[in-house]
Structure 1
Amino acid sequence: MTIITLRRALLCSVSGLALAFSATHASAQDQSADEGFLGTLVLGNNKREVETDTATPETTINAEEIRDRQANSIAELIDSVPGVTLVNSGTPTGAGINIRGYGADGTYGSNQKVQIQLDGASMGSEELYRIGTQLYTDPALFREVSVIRGTVGSYEYGSGVIGGVVNLETIDAADLTEGQIGLSGRQTVEYYGNAGTKVSSIILGWQPTENLEFLLNYTWREQGNYTDGDGNEVANTGYELPSYLLKGKYSFGQNADQSLTFSHAKTNSDEKDVPYDAFANIPFGNVDRYTETTTTSLQYAYNPVGNDLIDLTATLSYADQFIEQEEVGSTGSALLNADHRYETTKLTVKNTALFNAFGVDHNLRAGGELIRKERLTASSAPGGTDERFALFAIDEIDFGNGFTLTPAMRFETQDITSSSTGTYVTEGESFSNSELMGGISARYAFANGFAVFGSVAYTAGLPILDDFDYATYQTYMTQSEKAVTTEVGVSYDRDGVFSGDDQLRAKVNLWQTRLWDYTSGTDYATVDRINTEGLELEASYSHGSGAYLDMNANLSSGEWAYVDGTSADYTRMPANSLGLTVGKKFNDRLDLSWEAVLTKDIQSTSGYAVHNLRATYALSPNVLKEAEIRLGIENIFDKAYTPHLATRAAPGRNIKLSLAAAF
């Protein structure tokens, strides 16, 4: 895609957005003209906020939207973010997250180009052959999920981040108790018609004192094989997924300015007689596969009142992923009988300091990390240890006139060692690497609500344990993948645009990435670089009458550039897409919305238009604190389609019913 094409797309997007806003506003005005309509004017009714106050392309999905989307998995929850697409969905095993063309690619379910963090613990990034993203955590466990696209906002989370970062934050007891002493809870039951999915989730929050709180969550999710839009059953899409979360927090010190927070989450999946290949159903054979994912973290926080220089957190985290596979049959395949285990222990210490120096205000986040990853030697993959030390700093400098400048850096060292003797590598072989990465972003906000921003960011992906398995491992183990991403954009944020009780938020981001020293595939010797570029749009409009509109769009393309001077389309880019939601809230009791997702033809994948309806009604129970019923109808026209990058058909019409009660 050329820059001229992107400019035209930007103009079309902005024009279409303006027309949609005008139509919604006119409709809201007509309705609000009726005497007594709604009675209460509420601003900010949108499903999702647009992050207009930062140059970082970030999208946050809050607890309300998590419940509203009724997603089966975290992957399905974030696929509505522009630039994010899934390599399959519907099951945890077969789903992979792709952001801006990086991450899951259909051969591997994940890699370090997309980082996943759960309460500070690092998950995923292993290149397991034809197994999904390994993100088996249930959406019911989380209070917030944020997606950072690209490199510029990634330096405090890891190296080699080109696609982006997915941050998962589990629920707190205070979300239920609202800081009051006592016991509170929420029970949710769900049923989805397509595949007969059953979900039960109970959350208990107990606050025995003002300074002590505990939380327990248990979720059971069970699904059969779903059917596509043509009524065909899609094999091997059923699963059972029990999850639980234990969490506790103790606050102490002067004015309770210190705290210890413990979090432990566990999810397991037990699949019987399923294809080894969770993506394309290549007939390698069938396996019984048991997966257990555990994350544990302990965080100390210190934020003394009246001291802007100290806002300290120290987080010790442990992530353990165990995959046990046994072939159904007797060929003795090393691939099918491989057991995998990844253990990542990480200590992250960081501090946020607010101060004034040289006449400007600083918001400085700085810290360091110690990371140790251990990989079990498998019959089909090498084992070893990957030990890293990193320092990072991000300084948001506010010049006080609407101009903000944010330099960022990360320095990371690595010692990576093989723990087994394989076809090529010898046990005990070790390599050391280090990289200095950094970037800078700038944002200028005008008084009329407009802001312009831009950034340039460089990152390097240090070698990974998987790469010991190649004849060229000595090249892999000494060469980092490198990438530069540049971004420019404009945002608009204003209340009272068309009337005194409406608000408009919009953000358009144009980005370009160049990747070189490519080592992510066996064809590394023929690839000189990868060039990708795109445009992302997020917008929201809400009116005091309760009417709202949300929009997001993605336009992107890429190319392989080969060492012989030829090039070809980069096949891992997401399809160009447009998402539009129009809805209305009535007296904070009833929320009705219609959502359309439209994609364009890309390569051999046909475009499609899928429509969804959602309704939430808040009941008025006499005994319970709150109760609500949710009804979702996804793919209401039973469209038969296969998303780009997916290898199996998407579900057909699916009616979802949820009942939730809080006490």
Structure 2
Amino acid sequence: MRVFLPVACSAALLTAVPAIAQDIAIPGGSIVLDEIVVSASPSDGEATDSDIAYQSLSPTSARTREELAATGQTGSVSEILQSMPGVIAPSSADDPATSVNIRGLQDFGRVNVMIDGARQNFQRSGHASDGSFYFDQEMMKAVEVERGPGATVGGSGAIGGVVQITTIDADDVLRDDENIGGRIKVEGQGNGLGAMAHVEAATRISEAFDILAAGTFRQVDDYTTGGGEKVNSAQTMVSGLLKARVRVAEGHETTLSAMRLYDTFDNGISTVRTTTSIDDTFTVAHHWDPADNDLINLNARAYYTGTTLDQEDQNGWSVGAKRTFEIGTYGTDAVNVARFDAFGFDHTTRVGGELFYDHVQTRDENDLANNSTPPGERTVYAAFVEHTLERGWFEVVGGLRLDGYHLTGEDRVNDVDVEKNGSRISPKITVGVTPIEPLTIYVGYSEGYRSPSLTETLVQGFHPPPATFAFLPNPNLVPETAHNLEGGVTLRFDDVVRANDRLRLKGSVFQNRVDDYIELECSPFPLPGACTYDNIAEAKIEGIELEGTYDAGRVFAGLTATFLRSEDLREGDTLASVPPSRLSATLGFRAFHDRLDAGGRVTFVGAKEDAEDAGLVGDAYQLVDLFANWRIDDNTSASLTLNNIFDVDYTQYLNLEASPGFNAKFAFVRRFGANTQ
């Protein structure tokens, strides 16, 4: 009874949703154990536990490294992100980069991914996603996803949502009474045979200074699908992270971080290319939070992110030809959070802004890649104010955001220089009520603004043989504008079946109308045909997201579900980027004085009936995973994860290759620490 009650409650929620759920989509599942870090505004410096996460007036989810390890979700970045509702992470087997799709929106900055607050704006056009990032999941401390148009830091262009990844620091290695320590993790897997070694070392010289250094080496072979087909997915990856924190005065903390990832792999379909990618992220951030002044809680940051991807053709029609993609982003942002009481209400005001500059360089001996991923420059800026007014059971959040951009490049088809700019003010309003303590209801409206990317504006040239056709630039593109209407409800129950158990449920319904939605349009005439990016009059995406957890100590359960439906209001078709329905349920237990976490997860993915029209695979499938994590002692743990135990042959929607079949993964972790003072 204890186990099945939360599942039954979640099922009741599912059956109560409107008929829209019959057509729409659901991302992967995970549970919430103990405490997680959640901030409705990334980079605010605010953190709350899971109870407050289920009270927040926004569709926000978060996962920590400890929670993911306990539920066997320590795989790829894609697997981690898909543990949250509303999110899928399309990937290409022959490229370890990750793309993010939130509520059916992806590519060209519609979803903003930040690592320690630094934007990851790498993009190259091909047969896979137009926007991705490289990251070593072993460096992840926590990940937070805010769905819907971003309203504060990181919101520029993010009409789909914001992903904030935080990297590990000295506190993840050292305990309070230690000043030196380390952590070692080794891992092996059977499908895509390979191994990984990860090392962390940290020292706390005093309360004023600590430093962490971490490194990873990973090498894996090609994986095999459930149908027995071997897929090109081998890679060798080396990554390193150096992070230092300095506290020169009370209330002040400065963090400096440098991370580099080096990857080698073979990439391509008809033409296979030996590929090397180098990805850098450098940040300097300062947090000022004086204990005696509630009007100051300032976070300011400057950063650089850069990706250089070198390729050399190994076969096809241009053996030996080389090409290079270089995308660099320089950025800065700042936000201050002021809190005060006035007129019987609690007030919180966020004021801030952000600015980033993209510089794209592409070189190709065949003069092709520099056309499909054209060089150029783009500057994007924003300023925002958001105010929260709260009193007892009533809360209102209102805000305004100014976004603008300036883009320059070359239209070589018409032999003209292109210069584009624009700006817009976007409002936000959310009202929440808690009529009785276990129940919170909210409704909100927000808008977002995304400027066209360099590729969308300036793509040109010809597709390489054997399918040769033209790409035409479109300097007349106008920015996308999102209008998002959302409603949600959260339920929080304690002592449901037994003392100290907890049941948490959260659901949201949304409709996002995007004016001037930009999509690649191809026409067969005049022969041999041509493709260009164009504005669709209006696109509509609507859906339902559910998330629930139950924790009774010895048993735990979780459920996440997403249903999406879309329409191109000009043509009446659905949008190819919107995935099918997805539901994931987790059931587990703890034993041996809570040293063992074990359980299973079942994932159901619905069919996408019109997938073939877009050249994609949209078949329905079901997956079963098992996991076990054993804490041998306070410093040592071992885990075993069995993914796709029935060796199902399937292809995740938006992926070009079939996904892995059965895979067994084993990991061993050892931590050590001491106080040498």
TM-score bracket, normalised by the shorter chain, equals 0.7 to 0.9
Partner of 1:504: 503
Q: CA deviation at 1:412?
A: 2.0
| Pair 1:422 & 2:422 matched | no
Q: Secondary structure at the match of 2:520?
A: coil
- Across the two proteins, how many residue pairs are aligned to each other? 598
Q: CA deviation at 1:329?
A: 4.6
Contact 1:317 1:345 in 2 (8 A): yes
Contact 1:291 1:324 in 2 (8 A): yes
Match of 1:577 among 571, 576, 582: 582
Contact 2:141 2:168 in 1 (8 A): yes
The 10-residue stretch of structure 1 (484-493 or 158-167) with the greater mean CA deviation from structure 2 = 158-167
| Pair 1:172 & 2:169 matched | yes
Q: Secondary structure at the match of 1:646?
A: coil
Render the CA deviation track for 1:522-580: whole Å, top value 9, x for unaligned: 36558322111110000001114x21110111111111222xxx411222212111110
Partner of 1:269: 263
Q: CA deviation at 1:362?
A: 1.4
Contact 2:411 2:473 in 1 (8 A): no
d(CA) in 2 for partners of 1:241 and 1:166? 23
CA change 1:174–1:310 in 2 (3 A) is: same
Partner of 1:608: 621
Instruction: Give, as a single letter, the amino acid of the residue that structure 2 aligns with 1:160.
Output: G
CA change 1:345–1:88 in 2 (3 A) is: closer
| Pair 1:433 & 2:422 matched | yes
| Pair 1:455 & 2:418 matched | no
Q: CA deviation at 1:117?
A: 0.5
Q: CA deviation at 1:232?
A: 2.1
Q: Secondary structure at the match of 2:569?
A: strand
Partner of 1:6: none
Matches within 5 A, 1:18-97: 49=50, 51-68=53-70, 69-88=72-91, 92-93=95-96, 95-97=98-100
Instruction: Give, as a single letter, the amino acid of the residue that structure 1 aligns with 2:561.
Output: A
Instruction: Give, as a single letter, the amino acid of the residue that structure 1 aligns with 2:668.
Output: L
Q: CA deviation at 1:269?
A: 1.2
Q: CA deviation at 1:446?
A: 2.7
Q: CA deviation at 1:44?
A: 5.1
CA change 1:528–1:81 in 2 (3 A) is: same
d(CA) in 1 for partners of 2:670 and 2:10? 44
Q: Secondary structure at the match of 2:173?
A: helix
Render the CA deviation track for 1:142-198: whole Å, top value 9, x for unaligned: 1100111111x4432132322211100011102222344521111000001111131
Structure 1 stretches of at least 4 aligned residues deviating more than 6 Å after TM superposition: none
Contact 1:347 1:371 in 2 (8 A): yes
The 10-residue stretch of structure 1 (487-496 or 178-187) with the greater mean CA deviation from structure 2 = 178-187
Partner of 2:528: none
| Pair 1:474 & 2:479 matched | no
The 10-residue stretch of structure 1 (176-185 or 195-204) with the greater mean CA deviation from structure 2 = 176-185
Matches within 5 A, 1:63-462: 63-68=65-70, 69-88=72-91, 92-93=95-96, 95-103=98-106, 110-124=107-121, 126=123, 128-132=125-129, 133-151=131-149, 153-234=150-231, 236-253=232-249, 256-272=250-266, 274-275=267-268, 281=269, 283=270, 285-329=271-315, 331-332=317-318, 337-378=322-363, 379-380=370-371, 381-398=373-390, 400-418=391-409, 420=410, 422-424=412-414, 426-427=416-417, 429-462=418-451
d(CA) in 2 for partners of 1:122 and 1:94? 15
Partner of 1:486: 485
Contact 1:111 1:125 in 2 (8 A): no
Partner of 2:675: none
Contact 2:148 2:161 in 1 (8 A): yes
Contact 1:495 1:504 in 2 (8 A): yes
Q: CA deviation at 1:410?
A: 1.6
Q: CA deviation at 1:330?
A: 7.9
Q: Secondary structure at the match of 1:308?
A: coil
Task: Structure 2: give runs of 5+ residues left out of the alignment.
Answer: 1-8, 18-31, 38-49, 364-369, 461-471, 523-532, 612-617, 673-677
* Pairwise CA RMSD: 2.5
Q: CA deviation at 1:507?
A: 0.4
Identity %: 25
Instruction: Give, as a single letter, the amino acid of the residue that structure 2 aligns with 1:443.
Output: G
TM-score (normalizing by structure 2):
0.84
Q: CA deviation at 1:389?
A: 2.6
CA change 1:181–1:320 in 2 (3 A) is: same
Matches within 5 A, 1:623-662: 626-662=635-671
Contact 1:45 1:585 in 2 (8 A): no
Q: CA deviation at 1:128?
A: 2.7
d(CA) in 2 for partners of 1:507 and 1:556? 17
Instruction: Give, as a single letter, the amino acid of the residue that structure 1 aligns with 2:596.
Output: L
Q: CA deviation at 1:245?
A: 0.5
| Pair 1:556 & 2:564 matched | yes
CA change 1:613–1:79 in 2 (3 A) is: same
CA change 1:208–1:552 in 2 (3 A) is: same
Partner of 1:618: 631
Instruction: Give, as a single letter, the amino acid of the residue that structure 1 aligns with 2:498.
Output: S
CA change 1:137–1:655 in 2 (3 A) is: same
Q: Secondary structure at the match of 1:76?
A: helix
Contact 1:409 1:438 in 2 (8 A): yes
Which structure has more relative contact order (CA 8 Å, sep 6+)? It is 2
The 10-residue stretch of structure 1 (315-324 or 49-58) with the greater mean CA deviation from structure 2 = 49-58
Q: CA deviation at 1:223?
A: 1.1
Q: Secondary structure at the match of 2:650?
A: coil
d(CA) in 2 for partners of 1:330 and 1:548? 53
Contact 2:153 2:333 in 1 (8 A): no
Q: Secondary structure at the match of 1:64?
A: helix
d(CA) in 2 for partners of 1:67 and 1:642? 25
CA change 1:417–1:570 in 2 (3 A) is: closer
Q: CA deviation at 1:113?
A: 0.6
| Pair 1:596 & 2:602 matched | yes
d(CA) in 1 for partners of 2:36 and 2:254? 33
d(CA) in 2 for partners of 1:203 and 1:16? 48
d(CA) in 2 for partners of 1:321 and 1:538? 35
Q: CA deviation at 1:127?
A: 5.2
Contact 1:425 1:469 in 2 (8 A): no
d(CA) in 2 for partners of 1:65 and 1:639? 26
Instruction: Give, as a single letter, the amino acid of the residue that structure 1 aligns with 2:61.
Output: T
Instruction: Give, as a single letter, the amino acid of the residue that structure 1 aligns with 2:640.
Output: L
